Amino acid sequence: MPWKTALTTIQDGKEMVRGRALAQLMETMTFTEAIFFLLIGREAETRETKMLNALLVAALDHGVGAPSATVARTVVSTGNSLHTAVAAGVLTLGELHGGAIEAAAQFFKNHFTEKDISGLAKKLKAEKVRVPGFGHKVLAVDERAKMLFALARKNKFHGRYCVFAEEFEKALGALSSKPLPINIDGAMAAILLEMGFAPGIMKGFFIIGRAPGLVAHVYEQMTSGEGIKRADESEIEYTGETGKHV
Nearest by Cα to 203 from 102, 89, 103, 106: 102
Q: Which residues pair with 20 in a beta bridge?
A: 17
> In the chain, which residues have pLDDT < 70?
245-246
Q: Is 16 helix (H, G, I), strand (E, B) or coil?
A: strand
The number of residues making up the chain comes to 246
pLDDT single digits (tens) 132-141: 999 877 777 7
Query: What's residue 245's pLDDT?
Result: 67
Residue 1: the pLDDT is 86
Q: Per DSSP, what are the bridge partners of residue 134?
A: 182
Rounded CA gap, 100 and 103, in Å? 5
Asked if residue 167 lies in contact with residue 130, where contact means CB atoms within 8 angstroms, the answer is no
Domains of the chain: 10-44 (no CATH), 46-225 (1.10.230.10)
* Selection from 64, 95, 102 nearest residue 188 by Cα: 102
Q: Are 173 and 26 in contact (CB under 8 A)?
A: no
Q: Is the pTM of this model over 0.75?
A: yes
Query: What is the Cα–Cα distance from 164 to 6, expressed in whole angstroms?
Result: 35
Model pLDDT, residue 180? 84
The answer to whether the beta carbons of residues 190 and 169 sit under 8 Å apart is no
